[in-house]
Structure 1
Amino acid sequence: MKADLSAIGGDGSRVTSARETTNGGALVCAVEGQLAPSVGFVMTLPLKTWTGRFLQVGCGGLCGRASLEVGAAEGCLPLQAGGFAIASTDMGHQGMSGDFGRDPQQRADFAHRAVHLTALAAKQLIRSFYGKPAARSYFTGCSDGGREALIEAQRYPEDFDGIIAGAGALNFQVQNSMYHAWQARSNTGLDGKAVLVASKLPLLHQAVLAQCDKLDGQADGLIANPRACYVDLAPLRCEPGVAASAKCLNEAELEAVRRLYDGPRDPETGERLTVAGPMPGSELAWAGVFVPESASQPIFSERIALDALRNLSFETDPPADFRLADLPFDGATFDRLRARRPLFDATNPDLSAFAKAGGKLILWHGWSDPHISPLNTVAYLNAVQRVMGAAQAEAFTRLYLLPGVYHCGSGEGPSAVDFLTPLLDWVERGVAPQAVVARAPSPKEAKSNFGQPTAAGASAAPAAAAPGAPPATTVAPNARLRPVFPYPAMAVHDGKGDPNTASSYSGVLPPSVPALPAWRGDDFFRPYAPSVR
C-alpha cells in the first residue's frame, strides 16, 4: 500500500510498510506509517471481515509505543470477529522516558496532535483501501489513553462517534507531579528508605474491610461506595513498647498511611493540592506503586514524578539532579503547573460540540485505582453536568465505577468488562447503556494483561444488560459476575440470590452523594481555551 499523508502530517508523512498477516484469526493488512516529524502509527485493515467500523486505541504511561491491544471490550463479538479497522500511535516519541518533553514539537504531539492526526490518517487509509469511508469511528483508551480519549472529545469533537475513557490521566499536570511525588515522599523515612512495605498491606486492607465491607449490605470483600468509608486506624496501632510486627503498625507506618490517603496539602493553609488520594479498599493495589516490597527498594511513584517534574511539568525545567526532596508542596508550586495545563490536561467540561456532533462518551474507573484517584473522573462528570446541565449530560455521557478494581483492570473486584458493545448499541441503535456486567477474570487472565482482551478478542462473557435490568447469563461455573450501574447508582444484592450471579443485584441510588472536597485546582474543571504548544 502506498499513500501520501503529507496533507495531514506534513512533508514526509507516509505509509512505511504494509503486509498481509493474521490478527486473532482474521486476515488483515498490517500497516505502519509516520506523520512528520516523528509520530509513528500502526493499523490493521481486515481483508474479509470489516464491518465498516474504525477503532482507535490509546496508550498508557507516557506512551512511546503503538499498541493495538483493546481493553474493556471483554467478549465484544464484532471485535472478536475482526470487524474493526484498528489504529494506534506512539504519540510522537519512542520509549517511556519523559525526555521528549524538552522538545516543543514532541510535547505538542504527545499532548494532542498525534492522536488527532492518526485519526485523520487512518480514515484516509480506510477510504483508500475499501473505496469508502468508515461508517462509524470509535476511540478507547485507559490511563493516558483515557486522557487521550477526552482530548479527542474536547479538542476534536468530530473525530469519533463514540469514546470510551478509562481511568483517565485527565488531570495530567497535577497527577504526574504533585500526586505521585507526595505518595513517594509520604512513604519515605529520614533514612531515605520506605516506611511502609507491601507485607503490611494485607493487615491494613483487612482492617478497612472489617470497618466498611458491610456498608452496602453485603460482606463480599468489596467496598461498593468507598466515599462512605471513614477508616479508623487506631485498631492497627502497636501497643506501647511493642515493636512493629505483622499484626500492628507503628506510629511512623500509621502516619505514612494517613498521608497516603489524604494527599498533599499546603503546609501554611491546609489547602488540598489534589482532588483526592487513593480510596479506602485500594490498599493491596498500593504494592509496587508507592509501597515497595522491601524498605530498600525504590518507590515507583518517585520515578513517575521525577520523569514529569524534570521534563514536562514546568515551563523552565529544573536541573538534571532535581530530587523530590527539592519539591515544595505548596500553592506557589501548584500554580507553576498552570502554565502547561491547557496543553496537557483534559479537564474541559464543555463538550457541547461533541454532543452536537452526536458523540457518546463512556467514562469508567476502578474504585481501587492507586495510580489515579477515581474522584478525578467523578469531578469531571460533575463538571460536565454543571456546565451542560444534568439532562443534556445524561443524553450522551455515562460513568461506571468498578468496586475493587485497580488501574485499568485487575484487583479483587470483577474487572473483565465490555464497554465497547454498549457503546456500539448507543451510537448505532440509540440504546443508552444501563447495567453492564463485569466478570472476575481467571488467575491466568489476571496475570496477563489484567484480564482485558486484546484486539484479537477474549473469552466469552455475558452481553450488556437490556435497559433497566442486568442480564442473568453466566459464562462458567462459579464465575463471579457483578453488574455495574451508571454512577451514582450502586449494585445492591437482593439478600437471597446467588452473589456470583448478576441478576441477584439491582441498581440503587445512595441516600446522598457528598460533594467533592475543595482543592486548589477546582477551577481546572471549568471551560478553558486549550493550548496547541
Structure 2
Amino acid sequence: MKKSYPMMAAALAGLILMPAPSAFAAPQTLEVVAPVKACGDLLSLDLTQVAGAGSAVATAAETTSDGIAVCNVEGTLAPAIAFQVILPLRTWTQRYLQVGCGGLCGSITLRSGASAGCPVLNDGGFVMAATDMGHEGNDPQWALDPIKRADFAYRAQHLTAQAAKALIAEFYGQAEKYAYFNGCSDGGREALMEAQRYPDDFDGIIAGAPAALFQVQNTLYHGWQARSNTAADGSVILTSGRLPLLYAAVMAACDGTDGLEDGLISQPAACAFDPASIQCPAGASDTSACLTAAEVDTVRKLYAGPQDQASGAYLTAGQPLPGSELEWQGVFVADNADQPLFSRIITDPVLKFIAYDKANPEFGVDDLQFTAASLDAARARHPLFDATNPDLSAFAAGGGKLILWHGLSDQHIAPANTVSYHKALIGQLGEKAVEGFERLYLLPGVGHCGGGRGPANVDMLSAVLDWVESGAAPDGLMTATTAKTSSFGQPDHPAAQARQGGPERMAIGPQPLPDMTRPVYPYPYVAAFSGSGEWTDGANWKKGAASEIVATRAWPGENLFTPYEPMVVNQ
C-alpha cells in the first residue's frame, strides 16, 4: 500500500538549483538489505496466485549488471507475458523500479530514461523489472486475441509489478519500502495507466512523452503525417535534405521570441511562422534555397494536422511544434523520395488489427478518411488502450507523486497531448490538489524521449524519489547536453543492443549547439536568462514568468480527456 507523507517547507520553496543535472536534495538513506535466500531458490516461487496456471519463474541465475552483482530472473505470467527482474545481491536499498517499453513493445529492455547520473540507480539500489507486454516481436496479429489486447493495454505491467514484489518478498524476506515506475512514449502511457487503474502499485511515477491518446496517435496523427508527405505517385514530397532550410527559417523568425537567441525555442506558442515566406517564385529553376509550392503545402499540413472536411474541426489535440523540424527526419520525412515513411509503417498495423473492434487486414493508411466519423470509430477502444482519464483522486489520496515530461521538439507525439492531460487533471481535481502530487516539465529542443538539439539529460528519477521519500516537491530541475549516464539495468545482451541501434540516417542540419546546462521549471513557468554570464551555464538562469508554452486547441476529441469507465477484459 502507498504511504502518505506531510509536505515539508521545501515543497513550497522549491529546490535550490545546482550546476549539475543530478543535483537534488538526497532521498532518504535506507539500509542496504541482503538476500535471505539463494538466487536459485526463486525457481520454486509459485506465481500462479499472481496470474494463474502457467505462470512460473523460468530461470534464476547470478550475473552482473554494469558490474553490480544481481540475481537475474526471467519468467512468464499467463498466458504469455514475459518478464525479467534483476535483484541486487549486495546493494539493495529497499526500492523497486519498474520500467516501461515503447512502440507496440514485444521485447524486454530494462532501461531507465530521464535518470542521468541518478546515484541510487547507478549504485544498484533498485530491484528492477520490465515486461514485453504479453507478445513477442512485431507481428500485430497478437491483437486478434482479446487477452493479449488486455495484456498490452494494462494487464502486463500490473501483473509484472505483482510478480516482482512477490520475488522481492521471497528473496529478501521483506517487502520493498518504495515502488516507482518510469516510462516514456508507450512506456509513458503505461505509467499513466498504472496511476489510473492501479493507484496502489507505485508510490512515484514518471511518464515521459506519454502515448496516452493511443487511439488517435496511431491512426489519425501518424496517418495524416504519412499521407501529407506522399505524392500521388507514392513518392515522398519533403525529404530530409530540405529540413535544414526549413529549420533555419523557423529559427530566424522565432528564436528570439523567448528572450534569447540561443538556437532553442522555449515558447513555441509565441512562434508565428509561415512556410510561404521561403516559397520559391513561380517558375524558379533553382530551388536549393527555397521550398517548392508542393513542399510548402506539405509543411503546412504537417504543422496543422487533419481537419474534418465538412466542419473544419481539427482531429488531433496538436501537431509537431516550431523548432522540431530537424527531428522529423526518419519519422514522417524520409532521406530519399523512394523510402518508406516510418509514420506509415507504424500506423498500418494499428489500423488493420488494433484500433478498431473489427480487424481488417485490407485496410491501411491510404484508406483512412480524415473525418469526425473516423475519430468516432476510434472511440470504441478508447477505454481500453487510452490512458487519458484525469481522475487520479485515488492515486493522489494514497500519497502518489507523478512527474510528466515532454520534449518540445518531439517528432512522434505532440506535446499538446501532455499539456491537455495536465489541464484535464486541474479541471477534474482542482489546481491546488494537482499541485500536491503532479508536475509537468517541457524541455526546449528535446526530441522524443530524448535527443534533439536541446539539453536532454536530466535526472527526474532522483527528483521523484526525493518527493516521495522526503516530501520535497521538485521545482527547478537542471538539464544538460552532457551528463553522467545511468547504465544499471539489463545485463549485457547483444540482441538487445542491436534492437536499440535503430536505422542509420543521413547527416543533416547545422552544427550542434554548444554543451550547456539549463534549468526547467514546472509548467507553465519557463527559464529566463539573467542577462549576465554565459548563457550556456545553467547557474545564470532563473525562474521566469508563466507562459502559454504550448498552445492547445478546441477539437471534437477533447472529451477523451474526461473521466471514463476503463474497459476490462475478462479471462
Q: Please say whether Structure 1 and Structure 2 have the same fold, judged by a TM-score greater than 0.5.
A: yes
Report the residue type matching 2:91 in the other structure: T
**Counterpart of 1:446?**
none
Q: Distance in 2 between matches of 1:282 and 1:180?
A: 16
Shift of the 131–484 alpha-carbon distance from structure 1 to 2, 3 Å rule, reads: same
**Counterpart of 1:409?**
450
Q: Quote how far apart the aligned CAs of 1:217 are.
A: 1.2
1:510 to 503, 525, 546: 546
**Counterpart of 1:527?**
563
Q: Quote how far apart the aligned CAs of 1:234 are.
A: 2.5
**Counterpart of 1:313?**
355
Q: Distance in 2 between matches of 1:283 and 1:263?
A: 15
Report the residue type matching 2:433 in the other structure: Q
1:17–1:32 CA contact under 8 A, matched in 2: yes
1:284 is paired with a residue of what secondary structure? Answer: helix
**Counterpart of 1:189?**
231
1:509 is paired with a residue of what secondary structure? Answer: strand
**Counterpart of 1:462?**
none
Q: Quote how far apart the aligned CAs of 1:59 are.
A: 0.2
2:266–2:549 CA contact under 8 A, matched in 1: no
1:496 is paired with a residue of what secondary structure? Answer: coil
Report the identity percentage: 52
Equivalent residue runs for 1:161-200 within 5 Å: 161-200=203-242
Q: Output one character per residue of 1:476-521: Cα deviation in whole Å (capped at 9) or x when no partner.
A: xx74101111111111111112111111111112355786210111
2:74 is paired with a residue of what secondary structure? Answer: strand
1:8–1:121 CA contact under 8 A, matched in 2: yes
2:268–2:550 CA contact under 8 A, matched in 1: no
1:41–1:118 CA contact under 8 A, matched in 2: yes
2:122–2:486 CA contact under 8 A, matched in 1: no
**Counterpart of 1:461?**
none
Consecutive unaligned residues in structure 2, runs of 5 or more? 1-41, 491-513
Tell me: higher relative CO, structure 1 or 2? Use CA pairs within 8 A at least 6 residues apart.
2
1:72–1:453 CA contact under 8 A, matched in 2: no
**Counterpart of 2:488?**
455
2:226 is paired with a residue of what secondary structure? Answer: helix
Q: Output one character per residue of 1:279-305: Cα deviation in whole Å (capped at 9) or x when no partner.
A: 110000000000000111111100111
Shift of the 253–512 alpha-carbon distance from structure 1 to 2, 3 Å rule, reads: closer
2:416–2:550 CA contact under 8 A, matched in 1: no
**Counterpart of 1:471?**
none
Q: Distance in 2 between matches of 1:421 and 1:144?
A: 22
1:80–1:456 CA contact under 8 A, matched in 2: no
2:174 to 119, 126, 132: 132
Q: Does 1:345 align with 2:386?
A: yes
Q: Does 1:91 align with 2:133?
A: yes
2:546 is paired with a residue of what secondary structure? Answer: coil
Consecutive unaligned residues in structure 1, runs of 5 or more? 443-450, 458-477
Q: Output one character per residue of 1:220-254: Cα deviation in whole Å (capped at 9) or x when no partner.
A: 10000111111122221101210362211011000
2:299 is paired with a residue of what secondary structure? Answer: helix
Q: Distance in 1 between matches of 2:245 and 2:395?
A: 46
Q: Distance in 2 between matches of 1:197 and 1:241?
A: 21
Q: Distance in 2 between matches of 1:117 and 1:514?
A: 36
Shift of the 106–512 alpha-carbon distance from structure 1 to 2, 3 Å rule, reads: closer
**Counterpart of 2:194?**
152
1:357 to 390, 398, 401: 398
Report the residue type matching 2:63 in the other structure: T
1:50–1:82 CA contact under 8 A, matched in 2: yes
Compute the TM-score of the two structures, normalised by the length of structure 1: 0.93
Q: Distance in 1 between matches of 2:52 and 2:547?
A: 55
Report the residue type matching 2:431 in the other structure: A
Q: Does 1:328 align with 2:369?
A: yes
2:180–2:203 CA contact under 8 A, matched in 1: yes
**Counterpart of 2:274?**
232
**Counterpart of 1:467?**
none
2:267–2:547 CA contact under 8 A, matched in 1: no
